[in-house]
């Protein structure tokens, strides 16, 4: 048996209902959602609609049709940025962002969009709200930030940032890739105008599912146009949501799976999921602290961080630690830069990166224990490290 501890990359295992629902779709539903009038197309459309409805419940979104489905969070953020920003606009972001936000922003910079990065420094890598507010300019249009960091585990205070956005009449976009399903998110309470999420991490759906919520007062331009099953006699794109941004046949079977993932979260309760993950994080942090020769990054309080922990082992490179854990102990973690050069720059861990352990609701205390034991042996060089 192996211990899977790379849930920040993609969650594994998933609740068994997820496969059951997809299998049912494969064997019984099959139709193209919302395209034809027959019962299987209708059924498929209902399943996709139900997925929207469940996500709307989870994020407290008033109208499920304000959710656009995409392949993943990356596509959602590209859609949001390219549909909203014009040359001359200014965007405020953080120095922890994943490449899925950093790269589209860097690209838009070449098209005349201005960017300010707020630094997030050790020990907790938290964002400074004063600095954020002070960096607002006349042409600032958008604050675009992650909710939870995939490298340091930092959780940004969305409600406070949302207040700043509101006070200065700015749009607020959140990358919830690491927190959706694992930490409460309420788009109304937090003043979020755009929420990008991916289906395959904390939401327990399959890969190839994700989406973007857009505030109804906000109109963004589509970067993809095509068939929607609506206004078929028109050769122009419909202007209503979600069709304006959702062209082509969606991943209906994947979305069926995602609906089962979200249902599972709603049934278990997000507080219970979060509680278990906090407990596991507590054990992990405690265990790591007891080992001389391990440097842990980020916030110490489990209340203020995700179950994502980066660390370094004295004298052993992260890639070697990852290899030993995989080969000798059957423990699967991710090492390196985690698609996040900005974050590792902030941590001073370029170019080798760190070892990252990311836990989920399905990990156990025993597994965390085994990881700590393994690391103790690695530090004491009881296993070959070169």
Partner 1 sequence: MDSYYVATFYSTNYALKCERLLKNKDIDIKLIPVPRQVSSNCGLAARLTPQNLPDFMELYKEGLVEVEGLYSVEQEGKKLSFTLLEQE
Ligand X SMILES: Cc1ncc(COP(=O)(O)O)c(C=O)c1O
Instruction: Indicate which single residue of 17, 24, 49, 317 sits in contact with partner 1 (rule: CB under 8 A).
Output: 49
Whether a cis peptide bond, with omega within 30° of 0, leads into 295 is no
Q: Is 243 strand, coil or helix?
A: helix
The interface partner of residue 243, options being ligand X, partner 1, none and the CB cut-off 5 to 8 Å by kind, is: partner 1
CB of 154 to ligand X, least distance (A): 10
The interface partner of residue 65, options being partner 1, ligand X, none and the CB cut-off 5 to 8 Å by kind, is: partner 1
Q: Which is nearer to partner 1, 82 or 237 (CB)?
A: 237
Interaction of residue 291 with partner 1, rule CB under 8 A: no
Instruction: Indicate which single residue of 9, 12, 19, 53 sits in contact with partner 1 (rule: CB under 8 A).
Output: 53
Interaction of residue 17 with partner 1, rule CB under 8 A: no
Those residues whose C-beta lies under 8 Å from the C-beta of residue 28, and which sit 6 or more positions away, are: none
Is 221 within 8 Å of 83 (Cβ atoms)?
yes
Binding site for ligand X (CB under 6 A): 8, 72-74, 98, 100, 146, 150, 175, 177-178, 198, 210, 339
Interaction of residue 19 with partner 1, rule CB under 8 A: no
Interaction of residue 45 with partner 1, rule CB under 8 A: yes
Q: What separation in angstroms does the CA of 206 have from each of 19, 221, 308?
A: 9, 28, 21
Contacts to partner 1 from residues 205-234, by CB under 8 A: 228-233
The interface partner of residue 98, options being ligand X, partner 1, none and the CB cut-off 5 to 8 Å by kind, is: ligand X
CA–CA distance, 136 with 116 (Å, rounded to integer): 9
Interaction of residue 186 with partner 1, rule CB under 8 A: no
Q: Which is nearer to ligand X, 291 or 339 (CB)?
A: 339
Q: What separation in angstroms does the CA of 382 have from each of 30, 204, 317, 374?
A: 54, 37, 16, 10
Interaction of residue 238 with partner 1, rule CB under 8 A: yes
The interface partner of residue 150, options being ligand X, partner 1, none and the CB cut-off 5 to 8 Å by kind, is: ligand X
CB of 255 to partner 1, least distance (A): 13
Q: Which two tokens stand for residue 82?
A: 């390219």
The interface partner of residue 46, options being ligand X, partner 1, none and the CB cut-off 5 to 8 Å by kind, is: partner 1
CB of 361 to ligand X, least distance (A): 17
Work out the burial of residue 129: count CB atoms within 10 Å of its CB; fewer than 13 is exposed, 13-18 middle, 19 or more buried: middle
CA–CA distance, 144 with 97 (Å, rounded to integer): 9
CB of 244 to partner 1, least distance (A): 10
The interface partner of residue 74, options being ligand X, partner 1, none and the CB cut-off 5 to 8 Å by kind, is: ligand X
* Strand ranges in the chain using DSSP code E only, listed in sequence order: 3-4, 67-70, 90-94, 114-118, 120-121, 126-127, 140-146, 171-175, 194-198, 210-214, 294-296, 308-313, 331-332, 334-336, 354-358
Is 117 within 8 Å of 341 (Cβ atoms)?
no
Q: Which is nearer to partner 1, 68 or 144 (CB)?
A: 68
Whether a cis peptide bond, with omega within 30° of 0, leads into 13 is yes
Q: Which two tokens stand for residue 187?
A: 């788009």
CB of 85 to partner 1, least distance (A): 27
Residues that bind partner 1 (CB under 8 A): 33-38, 42, 45-46, 49-50, 53, 64-65, 228-233, 238, 240, 242-243
């Amino acid at each position: 048996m192996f211990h899977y501890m790379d849930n920040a990359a993609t969650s594994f295992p998933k609740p068994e209902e997820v496969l059951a629902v997809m299998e049912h779709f494969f064997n019984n539903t099959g139709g193209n959602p919302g395209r034809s009038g027959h019962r299987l197309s209708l059924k498929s459309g209902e399943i996709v609609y139900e997925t929207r409805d469940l996500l709307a419940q989870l994020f407290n979104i008033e109208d499920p049709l304000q959710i656009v489905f995409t392949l993943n969070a990356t596509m959602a953020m590209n859609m949001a940025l390219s549909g909203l920003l014009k040359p001359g606009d200014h965007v405020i972001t953080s120095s922890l962002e994943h490449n899925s936000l950093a790269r589209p922003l860097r690209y838009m910079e070449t098209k005349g969009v201005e960017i300010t990065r707020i630094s997030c420094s050790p020990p907790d890598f938290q964002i400074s709200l004063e600095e954020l507010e002070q960096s607002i300019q006349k042409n600032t249009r958008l604050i675009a930030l992650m909710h939870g960091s995939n490298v340091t585990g930092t959780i940004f205070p969305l409600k406070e940032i949302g207040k700043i956005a509101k006070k200065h009449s700015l749009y607020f976009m959140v990358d919830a890739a690491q927190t959706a399903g694992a930490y409460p998110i309420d788009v109304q309470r937090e003043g979020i105008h755009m929420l990008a999420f991916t289906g395959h991490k904390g939401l327990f759906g399959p890969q190839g599912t994700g989406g973007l919520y857009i505030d109804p007062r906000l109109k963004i331009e589509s970067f993809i146009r095509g068939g929607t099953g609506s206004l078929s006699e028109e050769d122009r794109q419909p202007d209503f949501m979600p069709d304006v941004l959702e062209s082509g046949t969606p991943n209906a079977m994947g979305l069926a799976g995602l609906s089962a993932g979200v249902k599972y979260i709603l049934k278990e309760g997000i507080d219970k999921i979060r509680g278990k993950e906090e407990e596991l994080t507590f054990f992990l942090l405690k265990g790591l602290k007891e080992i001389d020769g391990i440097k842990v990054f980020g916030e110490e309080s489990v209340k203020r961080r995700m179950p994502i922990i980066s660390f370094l082992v004295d004298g052993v490179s992260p890639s070697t630690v990852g290899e030993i854990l995989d080969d000798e102990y059957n423990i699967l973690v991710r090492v390196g830069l985690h698609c996040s050069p900005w974050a590792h720059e902030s941590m001073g861990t370029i170019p080798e990166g760190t070892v990252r352990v990311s836990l989920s609701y399905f990990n156990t205390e025993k597994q965390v224990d085994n990881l700590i034991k393994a690391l103790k042996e690695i530090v004491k060089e009881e296993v070959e490290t070169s």
